[in-house]
Structure 1
C-alpha cells in the first residue's frame, strides 16, 4: 500500500552521498518488493548491511504436515498447546508450533514470555494476531508497540525481534506466515493505493514506527527463514559484522505496522452479510477476515447466524479470540479454539443456534478467519490438540 512515511534522518536526494558528522559515508539499502517494481523504502546504515561473518544451519521447529484425510471438519484447541505450569521460557519465534499449512500460508501459535532472537522471514510477509499480552516489536525500521487485538504486519525480510512485557502476562500470538505479500483488499484501494471511503478502516488506523531504534554491536546473530527443503522452508543463522539495527533514517512506502481489530468498522445489512464484508487483508491464494462485535441483521424475519454453506473453492479457518460465537454454541468451541471447515464439506451453525439467534440485535464476538484456495494440512501443533469428536456435532452423535 503506497502510504509514505519518513523516520529519522535522510538526505534530500536519494542515491546521493550522505555522511555523518565525522564525514563517514552511510550505507544506503533499498528494500523493495517485486524486483524494484512495487513499494519500497530506503534505509541508511552505519555499517555494511550485507557484511556477514558466518552462515550456519538453524533447525526450525517441526514444519511437517499431514493431509486432512479422510476429510473432516476439525476443532483444534490451541490453548492446550502450552502448559501454563511448565517451567519453561518460550519466545515468539523459536517457540512457534505449526497448526495448519499449505504451499501459500502457514498458521502457528505461540505463548511467548521472553524476548526472541533477531529474526527475518525471507519467504513472505507475516501477519501476527495478538490474542493477549503487550510488548514491542523492535525492527530495523524502529519500534512497534503492540497490544491485545493488534495485527502486526511485518514485510518480507524485515529484521525484527519480539519483546513481550511479562508484567502483563505472556503474549499469546497467532502468526499467519505467507509465501507472498499481505495487503489490504484491492477493492478498498484507489488506483494509487489510498484506502477508499467504503473501506472498513483507513490510514489513521495504521500505526507504523515513529522513531529509529539504534543499536550497536559486533558479531550479531539473525535467524533467517527461507525457501528450500522438503517442506519448502528451511532456516539459516547469519552472524553479522555489525548490528542490523544501525539505521539512522529511512523513508518510503514499505515498513511494518499495526492495526487493531477494534478499529475495524463492521459492514452490516438487513439480512445476513457474506464473509467478504469481514475481509481485512489478502495474500496470494488466501484472505484474512475478522468478525467483531456488531449490530446484526435487522430485517424483521432475519436469521442472524450464518446459513449453511459449502466452501467449493476454499478451506475456512476460524480462530475464536473473544466473546461468544453464536453459531458455534453447543459444539465445544470456545476462546482459543480453531475450526477448520474444508472445501468439500457443507458447514454452518449448530441446529439449536438458529432458533436461539432469532430476534438478536447484537453479537459480542471476535474471531480471525483465514480462507485458503488450496487445501490445508495439519501441522504437528494442530494434530496435538485435535478434538476427535467435533466432526459429528451437527448430527449430535459420537464417533
Structure 2
C-alpha cells in the first residue's frame, strides 16, 4: 500500500534526481512511476551487465524487417511483440489494399513514421502524414491507400484487445493530454461502386481471416453520429509538460490507454534548467511493466536519435541511458536548453513476447561493451 512515510538511510542527495555527486540513481518503483518507490544510489552503473535468457531485452532497427505488405498489397504487418492485451506490429505498406479490412479482435492505433496517404473508412476518409496517430475503433471497416507510387511507408501498429481511451485528466483539466479540437475526424463520404461484382471485407481474428463479400461497396455511408469514431492526431499538436528542476516521468506524457496498455511519447521541449538536475530519465527497472520505445527521430543534446530503432526493456531489468551519455549531458549542461527527441513509448502490464522475426533481426551487443 502507499505511504506518506519516506525513509532515508546512508548517503543520499537532498533533491530527487539531482546533485548525485558521482552516485547512480536507480528507482525500484511499483505500478510504473505512480506507486511506492525506493531510490537506490549505486557506486556503479546498474546497467553494466551481460544478459542471457528470456528477459534479456532486445533492440533492432525496424528498417531491416520485411512485413509481407511491403511487396504484396494483400500482405499484413509483421508482428514484433505481443501479450494477451496487445500486439505491436510494423507495416511498410507500399500499395493500396485490394480489399477492405476489419479487425474484429482489437482497437488499432497506427503511428505514422514515414509516408503519406489516406485511410478509406466507412466514416469517411482520413489522410495521414509523418507524426500522425491514426485511431481505428474495433471492427471498423477500412483500407489504406498510400501515396508515393509504390514507395513503402512505415507505421507502428498497436492493437489493444480492450478499447483505447483518454486518461483521466485529474488536476490538469479536461484538455489533458491534448486539445480535442485538434484531432481530425472524418466527414461522411460514401464510396461509389466501381463496377465490380463483389467487394471483399477481410476480417482478422485470432490469427485467422474470414472474408465477407458484398454486392456493393461497404463504405457507402451517407452520414454518421455518435462518440465512437476514427481520428488522427499529430504529435506536433501535443502540448508538452515540463519542469525546470526535475525530469518528469514518462507517464506525464500519456496519450491513450487500454487495459494493460499505455501509449505515451517523449517530444521536443525545454530542457531542465536548474543546475545539478539530471536531464536524462533515471535508471529504473520498471517492476510492473514492460517498456517499448520506438525512435521517430530528433536529437538529444546534439546526439542524433536513430530513426526506426525499437527497443524492448522487460520489467524487472535495469535500463536507462548509458553513463557516458549522462556525463556528457552534465558536462555540456550550459550548451543546450532544449531536448529535441521524438520517441513513441508503449508500456504493458503483462510481459511481452518478441516474435521470431524480431529475435532474428535483433542487434547483437558487443561483448566488450556493457549493456
Q: TM-score, normalised by structure 1?
A: 0.73
CA distance in 1, matches of 2:300, 2:349: 24
1:212-252 deviation line (CA, Å, top 9, x unaligned): 1323254211111124xxxxx32212212332111111111
Q: 1:288 aligns with which of 246, 258, 263?
A: 263
Change (3 A) 1:259 1:96: same
Once the 2 structures are TM-superposed, how far is the Cα of residue 167 of structure 1 from its aligned partner?
Answer: 5.0
Give the superposition deviation at 1:188.
Answer: 6.0
- Preserved CA contact (<8 Å) 1:141 1:247: yes
Corresponding position of 1:382:
358
CA distance in 1, matches of 2:295, 2:270: 19
Aligned to 1:211: 188
Q: How big is each residue's C-alpha offset from its partner over 1:93-118, in whole Å with a ceiling of 9 and x where there is no partner?
A: 72311111111111111211100131
Match of 1:372 among 323, 331, 348: 348
Which of 355, 363, 368 aligns to 2:327? It is 355
Residue aligning to 1:343: 315
Task: Measure, in 2, the Cα distance between the counterparts of 1:189 and 1:107.
Answer: 31
Q: Secondary structure at the match of 2:169?
A: helix
Alignment-derived partner of residue 118 in structure 1:
100
Cross-structure match for 2:205: 226
Indicate whether 1:164 and 2:146 are aligned: yes
Kindly indicate whether the alpha-carbon contact (under 8 Å) linking 1:138 and 1:213 is maintained by their aligned counterparts in 2.
no
* Matched-pair contact (CA < 8 Å) for 1:144–1:257: yes
Residue 294 of structure 2 is matched in structure 1 by: 319
Match of 2:165 among 180, 183, 191: 183
Deviation at 1:211, TM superposition (A): 3.4
Q: How has the CA–CA distance of structure 1 residues 278 and 133 changed in structure 2, closer, same or farther, with 3 Å as cutoff?
A: same
Query: Aligned pair in 2 of structure 1 residues 365, 311: CA closer, same or farther (>3 Å)?
Result: same
**Cα deviation per residue 1:350-397 (whole Å; 9 max; x = unaligned)?**
11011111213211110100000000001133123111217x6xx824
What SS does structure 1 have at the residue aligned with 2:324? helix
Does the aligned pair in 1 maintain the 2:188–2:222 contact within 8 Å? no
1:98 is aligned to 2:79: yes
Q: Match of 1:396?
A: 369
Deviations 1:310-359 (A, max 9, x none): 110000000001112569x69xx721111101012011111101111121
- Divergent runs of 4+, >4 A: none
Contact 1:120 1:223 in 2 (8 A): yes
Structure 1 segment 1-399 matched on structure 2, within 5 A: 69-82=53-66, 89-91=71-73, 94-116=75-97, 117-166=99-148, 169-187=151-169, 196-197=174-175, 199-216=176-193, 218-227=197-206, 233-269=207-243, 270-325=245-300, 334-358=306-330, 359=333, 360-389=336-365, 396-397=369-370
Query: What is the distance in 1 between the residues matched to 2:370 and 2:127?
Result: 46
CA distance in 1, matches of 2:341, 2:77: 26
- State the alpha-carbon separation in 1 of the partners of residues 214 and 294 from structure 2: 38
Deviation at 1:144, TM superposition (A): 0.2
SS of 2:327 mapped into structure 1: helix
Q: 1:264 to 1:168 in 2, by over 3 A?
A: farther
CA contact (8 A) 1:308 1:346 kept: yes
**Runs of 5+ unmatched residues, structure 1:** 1-67, 228-232
Contact 1:206/1:257, CA 8 A, preserved across alignment: yes
8 Å Cα contact 1:111-1:171 kept in structure 2: yes
Cα contact 1:134–1:168 (8 A) shared by 2: no
Distance 1:155 1:188, change over 3 A: farther
Q: Take 2:54 and 2:224, find their aligned partners in 1: how far apart are those partners?
A: 51
Counterpart secondary structure, 1:357: helix
